[in-house]
Amino acid sequence: MQPEQPERGKETGWSSSQSPLRRALSATLVYLVAGIIWITFSDRMVEIWFADPRSLSAMQTWKGFLFVAVTALVLFTVMLRLLSKDRLLLSLQLDQRRALRQREQQLRVLMDNLPGMAYRCRNDDSWTMMFVSGGCEQLTGYLPDDLINNKLVSYASLMDPDAIEQVSEEVAIAVRKGRSFSLEYAITRKDGRKVWVWERGCGVEHEDGSVFLEGIVLDISDRKQLETELEEMATRDPLTGLLNRREFSRVLEEELERARRYERPMALLWIDFDHFKDINDSWGHAAGDTVLCAVSEILTDRVRSVDSVGRFGGEEFVIVLPEMDVEGARDTAERLRQRVGNAPIPLESGHSVPLTISVGVAVYPVHGHTVETLCSAADKAMYQAKMQGRNCVAMAQPIEPVHNET
């Protein structure tokens, strides 16, 4: 840093010597010196050359005219040069202002037509906005002036409270490392509706050393909704909305592992519709779909919130009942069987279709210790219920037969 000081001093001295005041004083001094020299030496030369008073007086007059003419010519030349420079500078400044206004207008149009909101804010807890584009109103429901300097509301207050800490932490890390940040979080609009946004920005250092945040915020609610729908499609049966076979198998594995860890029972109900083919043949597949959806609602409404209902395909439904023993599982299965049998399913045609179900019950650890053995035991019990005349509940066979003591 020290070797640069002399150069800065020279630069400062040179700038001062070229200041308007010094330039004016230098020109005035040159003019005075030239005038004194002219008057002094020209008078002596005229007195030497012209001894006659009349001729001397005439020459003095002409000498004065010549001095005025030369001075006027020099003054005209200097003024013309200065005015030409000033005119050129003014013209350049005018062109620069026009170009600046044009760029500002283009930038304003660009900002206002962005699909989201461009912003510049302080790096504080409130995210105090210094500038927001016109897209602010469409995104948040607030006018730009409402957010600037937190006039009506701060941007941070619109953010999901659960996301503020994580967002602030990620922004702080990005600013500290001098890189951009990319975030997804929810905000609450002025009308109370929640929307998901994606933000991309970076930290910008100000002249005074303070750091501002600049970036853009886009509404990604449609994308989030699509992601949710795709996620549901991957885990839900498209007709009934119940868990599909793959997702139910995953849930069953988790519940069985939990039952092993805490040494608690877990029940599995395997349900199949009785004579479902007759419904499709008599009333059509649309009526069959109506029956499947209606029964899925009955099963979902009649089990606990911790229980899970899935469709394994066709008319086979499976229910996992955490922490439920043999007696509880039998009672639940019987209650579901009676509820379905006592509620004929109404069709769009105005007719009602009676329906019964056969239920097989298997309980961990009595009827199996793995997913495969439990499913196999429950499935066999369901077929046993079919063989017993349908519309009934059958329990699976224990793994080890119970011997009576004598």
How far, in Å, CA of 186 to CA of 194, rounded? 7
Q: What is the pLDDT of residue 15?
A: 44
Which is it for strands 352-353 and 345-346: parallel, antiparallel or unpaired?
A: antiparallel
Whole-number pLDDT of residue 46 = 65
What's residue 382's pLDDT? 96
Q: What are phi and psi of 313, to 5 degrees?
A: 125, 145
Q: What is the pLDDT of residue 110?
A: 62
- Quote the pLDDT of residue 400: 66
Q: What pLDDT shows up at residue 111?
A: 61
Instruction: Considering only the C-alpha atoms of the chain, give the largest distance between any 2 of them, rounded to a whole number of Å.
Output: 172
- Residue 46, both tokens: 């005229």
**Which amino acid is it at 68?**
V
Place of tokens 């030496």: 41
| Residues of the chain falling short of pLDDT 70 | 1-18, 41-44, 46-48, 50-52, 55-56, 59-60, 63, 104, 106-114, 400-406
Cα angle 381, 303, 228 (rounded to 5 degrees) comes to 110
Work out the burial of residue 361: count CB atoms within 10 Å of its CB; fewer than 13 is exposed, 13-18 middle, 19 or more buried.
buried
Sign of CA dihedral 241, 242, 244, 248: positive
Tell whether the torsion through CA atoms of 341, 343, 345 and 351 is positive or negative: positive
Whether the CB-CB separation of 321 and 307 falls below 8 Å is answered with yes
Structural tokens at position 177: 């490392």
Sign of CA dihedral 300, 303, 304, 308: negative
Q: Residue 350 is encoded by which pair of tokens?
A: 């105005």
Q: Please tell me the predicted confidence (pLDDT) of residue 319.
A: 97
Instruction: Give the H/E segment covering residue 129.
Output: strand 129-132
Element (H, E) at 271: strand 266-273
